[in-house]
Amino acid sequence: MNPELLARVGAWLAADPDEADRATIERLLDADDEVEIHRRFDEPLRFGTAGLRGPEMAGPAGMNRCTVRRATQGVVAWLRAIGVDTAAGVVVGRDARHGSASFNDEVVAVLLGAGVGVHEMPRPLPTPLTAYAVTALGAAAGIMITASHNPPADNGYKLYGPDGSQIVPPHDAMVERYANEAPTAVRGDRSSPLHHVVGEELLEEYREHMRARFAVTSSDLSIAYTPLHGVGGAFMADLFARSGFSRVALVDEQFRPDPTFPGLPFPNPEEPGVLDAGIARANASGATLLIANDPDADRLGAAVRATDGTWRVLRGDEIGWLLGSVALAEAKDGDVVATTIVSSSMLEKMAARAGVPYVTTLTGFKWIAKAAPGRRLAFGYEEALGFAVDPCVADKDGLSAALALARLAHDLARHGLTLLDRLDELEARYGVHAGAQLSLRVGAGRGREVLAEVMARVRSHPPTVLGGTALSEVIDLETGYGDLAPTEGLIWRLGSTGRVVVRPSGTEPKLKAYVEVVAEPSAEDVRAQRRRATALLEAIREDLASVLALDD
């Protein structure tokens, strides 16, 4: 094993506070397992789209107490460097994943040891409540221990700035640099006068605010609901009940938090089969709408029963159009709506007709939340099931979005209509906008290197035709595009037919391609247009699978 690697391992062992993790690394050294040592030390976790996220394991490539300790020291140094008064304290929250409690404890101890106040959430709670608490309490920052919808082995560290939204460059690089330079941490404990537990009254303020916005007097709408073994269950069920939705059938086997996510290797409502148990419960209860939150309840998935009894799982873009149609109808002067470069182009057309300013952002809610400086973000969404329906939370919020979708379904049902009818109406007005994704997962041990190689290859040799449609323009997002900051990604335009966006995921070892095919409004039946658009989508996806093939 080379001396440079051994030196890095030794420095890590000297700083690692966890006895079990140190023992793991020492066993690998004793076994001379250079491959595994390289895996754990060559690619440390980096602050990406949503802070830190990765497998829970010993070493700098994993989520562990040492990683969390250093990250928190980096946060403290960053806050002081940018001149934020840390006397306002930092909100600390967690989900119910493996490791979340101990990582939460580490964050609290490091903050208190650094003389920074702590507002600790009282129990595992949804991520949007941490974001809400930052602004509600006027805190200096917020830290949420969560891996959102990642696989069960993962955990993560999400950072909110003083405005309650996720940090953006260059602040992520600053935190990372300060974390890497962190000295030995001083740890405090909860007996410190700087420690406070967030009171139930703050959670009540959130509930009452959302109830006032989206409640109905009484609804006959029959809903099935699943939190996918996450932390949203009890909170969301209570929110439904308070808001007049009494006919909610809970998916009992997925209701309580369970960090193993039984039966759900990827507890993400976007993944095929994840909503099967919810649909079965909906069928048994006679529900016409299924609502799902991901494990930390910042995302919203939904499925609707069609008139023939079959179920249609809604795409994130479709939910975005539905919620956006309401937000645009209710918009006030100065309001703005926003979505990302990988989301559907329909919201822009809807906003133009409504006379409401629209902004396209880079991928990730950290950008959407900052789309309207000095103005009110009335609505923002990303196709990956993230929705912001109320500006009191400066991040995606699957709780309030669920309530808003239920309210829309209720209002439509009073006129004999469904969410699917509203989607038909929107696509008849603005044209069919068919969308699909292609996700290619990188195998263990290859990581960012493989993604970089593939991006370099397709950047230098882009395809000329996809699905029988010629590329009309190639845009390299790495050099910037319009008002957008440079980012890793490519846009391949297909004339008036649509576009493809290719980018590496910011939260998982995946290469992702986002395809949209657009048909202009016409007198032709919307369903016939969808069938043609879907056929073209599949042809483009088939070609993309070859173009983006991972040599893995």
Active site residues: 148
Helix/strand/coil percent split, the chain, to 5: 40, 20, 40
Q: Is the dihedral of CA 182, 187, 188, 190 positive or negative?
A: positive
Written as six digits, the tokens of 311 are 């179920």
> CA 260 to CA 97: how far, in whole Å?
8
Written as six digits, the tokens of 523 are 């007198």
547: Cα separation from own chain's centroid = 27
Distances (CA, A) of 542 to 436, 466, 495, 511, 548: 12, 9, 19, 15, 10
519 and 435 in contact (C-beta within 8 Å)?
no
Q: Omega of the bond prior to 170 within 30 degrees of 0, cis?
A: yes
319 and 252 in contact (C-beta within 8 Å)?
no
> CA 289 to CA 311: how far, in whole Å?
9
Distances (CA, A) of 221 to 247, 406, 409, 419, 422: 7, 8, 8, 12, 16
4 and 34 in contact (C-beta within 8 Å)?
no
Strands 358-361 and 335-340: parallel
Name the helix (H) or strand (E) containing 139: none
